[in-house]
A = this chain, B = another copy of it.
Amino acid sequence: MHELAKMFRPQSVAVVGASGDPEKLGGRALLHLKTLGYQGRIYPINVSAAEVQGLPAFRSVMDLPEVPDCALILLPAGLVSKAVEDCAAKGVKHMQVLSSGFAEEGGEGVAMQRRLAEQARAHGIRFTGPNCLGSISPPDGYFGTFSSLLATARPGPGTVGVATQSGAYGSHIYAVAGFRGIGISRAIATGNEADVDVATAIDYLAEDPGTKVICASLEGCANDDGLRRALLKAAAARKPVIIMKVGSTEVGAAAAATHTGSLAGEDRVIDTVFRECGALRVSSIEEMLDVAYLCSVGPQPPNAGVGILSVSGGIGVLMADACIENGLQVPAMPPEVLAEIRAVQPMAGGRNPIDTTAQLAGRLHVVETISQSMMRGADLGAVMFYLAHLGRDLKRFPPLAKALTGLRRDYPDRAVVAVMTHVDEVRLALEAEGIAVFEDPNRAVRAVAGAERLRRLQLGAEAVPVIALSACNEAEAKRLIAEAGVPVPPEHACASATAAVAAAEALGYPVVLKILSDDIPHKTEVGGVLLNVADADAAARGFATLMERARQARPDAKLDGVLVAPMLKGGVETILGTLRDPVFGPMVMFGLGGVAVELFRDVAFASAPLTPHRAEALIAASRGARLIEGWRGAPPLDKAALVQALVALSRFAAAHPEVASVEVNPFLVREKGAAALDALVSISTRC
């Protein structure tokens, strides 16, 4: 059993600060426990009353006849510390601190919250909050929250688990889930997260036997390996995780920081971590619930192929477009299957989508034949039916229900989805058979695409090994990356024109001259690079030119002379980089160099360190991959050298926490070999 199981599914609960007035928070929480079906033991704690809302009350947790599984704390902030001492004295191991007045108020509240966390830790107590909404477990009739929402919209029991930081966010999710008939297993709001955070809640839900699908929302993230571990645990258990991270734009992130005081991780890093750990990131609650609904009703599609049967040609095409745009496939049916279909419905058009046309009235039984034929005609992960308004027509629906449920039973691992306007009676009957029902065609397609993508993400999820940290090293950029194993062409630092000519003669012409100065990291901006230097005369003149340009552009820069390097031609310029994310640690980046990175941000990220296999996947994730493979008849380039360099650079980044970032730009990948033509290493000043 998970160590937090008793926190979220308690057999007995103390309500500390219980009130007789249901308008007060401590009264409303007690009322919810009393009246909404909870079968466990409820102990109101109230210093002055012998009875609260008809239940016998106790002055302190210490007076209780047993150790409650969980204590809900609803006292004013200043009284919480004493209550925690009482809980500790009694031996309570789980609390939910719903009281506000802590870090969210700043000032003294921050210190109070820190003391609360220390106090609980000292006594071995785990807790949610402070300033949280509590949690619910509809299958147990347990609603341990003061949310006023429950008066008008109470979610039913089900298999979708919800973990959010914000209570309002969480209750919005479960309220909308309730309206749409999506049942909830547990919903947990973690508030200020002085102990249990969303990552911990996901970890719990990943083990919770009643939870099949997990919906989560993060505002910040202070617990790096915890989140990764929790997501990987869910992926290993094949529980789909659909996750939102709010604060993805600059305005949003600024607001999130104000709101939560926690760190808004760099958005693409979050994307990467979610993807690597098998979670599907979505950007709206609606999409989250659509995917969760599909995954909770029936199986995730085992492949990207979709069969579409539509009573409207136009809507069939709309859905096919949406499939392609969302990464699904719509394989054409073979001629023999089309012949079978036309044998029962001569008007049927298309090869997939199959347009039965509206001339189906009175002959709805042919839908069964057509859909069975389609299943035989291609390897379909999902079959989607557009049935217009037939879901509102109880008289005419039975042959369609027969077609849908027959398919469901004959192909138990495929997703079957009906898109139509409908009455609840029809929807509930189909859902009971494992068939999902949507009203909007696009939302249905996006849900299928999300569920299918989740399946692939979870299959691909893998743990990234944690590397032991080594000591700081402040040697300069090129030497560092060369030592790390990134190929760097021979080049010579020359303090005089004579030395530059000698170096060029030794390398062989043509050469490249580059200004050498710690104060000028971006050489091209001062005209500090000369290409194709062809002879001794040009080399000597080039030295003078570069020194003069640098002096003009940066009179205060300390100039160390020029670098002389061989002029490498051919190949494709790429960019390699690393950065150390404050939450998720070392990340590595690959992209096409030059205009592609500047204008199109064609870069992909992965957590460091990379294996060769993951390095190949990183390369494939960028559009530049097509140039590496040999573009338009050009010979393929040395991908092995690129992979080796990425692996080496990623290991370097993982092993050196003092390195804030590395940028190798350009990294030239050639037909044979590859070379770092420039590199910039930023060392964190904290080391």
Contact = CB atoms under 8 A, between A and B. Distances in A.
Contacts of A164: 314
Nearest to A179: B421
A252 B153 contact: no
Contacts of A286: 440, 442-443
A594 B251 CA distance: 35
6 contacts: A152-B393, A253-B317, A259-B350, A285-B442, A599-B624, A600-B623
Given A168-B312, A284-B322, A599-B623, 7 more contacts: A100-B359, A105-B347, A151-B393, A153-B389, A252-B320, A253-B317, A255-B352
Interface in A250-307: 250-256, 258-260, 283-287
A389 B321 contact: no
Given A166-B314, A355-B255, A595-B592, A440 B284 contact: yes
Contact of A320 (B171, B251, B632): B251
Contacts of A431: none
Interface in A144-203: 148-149, 151-153, 164-169, 171-172, 175-176, 179
Interface string A628-656: 00011100000000000000000000000
Q: Closest 10 interchain pairs by CB?
A: A168-B312, A259-B313, A284-B442, A166-B314, A252-B321, A249-B324, A169-B314, A152-B392, A246-B317, A252-B320
Contacts of A247: 317, 321
B318 A244 contact: yes
A313 B260 contact: yes
Contacts of A104: 347, 357
A441 interface: yes
Contacts of A626: 599
A219 interface: yes
Contact of A442 (B179, B283, B389): B283
Contacts of A248: 321, 325
Given A175-B389, A252-B320, A168 B315 contact: yes
A186 to B, nearest CB: 19
A350 B389 contact: no
A313 B104 CA distance: 11
A624 B600 CA distance: 10
Interface string A436-452: 00011111000000000
Nearest to A217: B314
Contacts of A623: 599-600
B592 A324 contact: no
A321 B283 contact: yes
A198 to B, nearest CB: 11
Interface in A593-637: 594-596, 598-600, 602, 623-624, 626-627, 631-633
Interface in A387-429: 388-389, 392-393, 421, 423
Nearest to A105: B347
Contact of A595 (B148, B347, B595): B595
B441 A317 contact: no
A312 B169 contact: yes
B632 A525 contact: yes
A68 interface: no
Contacts of A313: 166, 168, 219, 255-256, 258-260
Contacts of A285: 318, 440-442
Interface string A579-603: 0000000000000101110111010
A397 to B, nearest CB: 12
A442 B285 CA distance: 8
B421 A172 contact: yes
A571 interface: no
A295 B343 CA distance: 47
Nearest to A267: B321
B596 A314 contact: no
B592 A315 contact: no
A525 B634 CA distance: 9
Given A349-B258, A359-B100, A600-B600, A317 B148 contact: no
A315 B347 contact: no
A352 to B, nearest CB: 8
Nearest to A285: B440
A316 interface: yes
B167 A358 contact: yes
A563 to B, nearest CB: 21
A330 interface: yes
Contacts of A657: none
A166 to B, nearest CB: 4
A241 to B, nearest CB: 18
Contacts of A149: 388-389, 392
A311 interface: yes
Contacts of A325: 248-249, 283
Contacts of A352: 251, 255
**Most central of A169, A247, A314, A627 by chain B CB within 10 Å:** A314
A575 to B, nearest CB: 13
A631 B361 CA distance: 63
A552 B184 CA distance: 70
Contacts of A633: 525
Contacts of A254: 351
A141 interface: no
Contacts of A600: 596, 600, 602, 623
Given A149-B388, A149-B389, A249-B325, A317 B259 contact: yes
A434 interface: no
A353 interface: yes
B100 A317 contact: no
A318 B599 CA distance: 27
A152 B324 contact: no
Nearest to A25: B361
Contacts of A330: 251
Contacts of A253: 317
Contact of A599 (B250, B258, B627): B627
A448 to B, nearest CB: 14
Nearest to A289: B440
B596 A595 contact: yes
Contacts of A324: 249-252
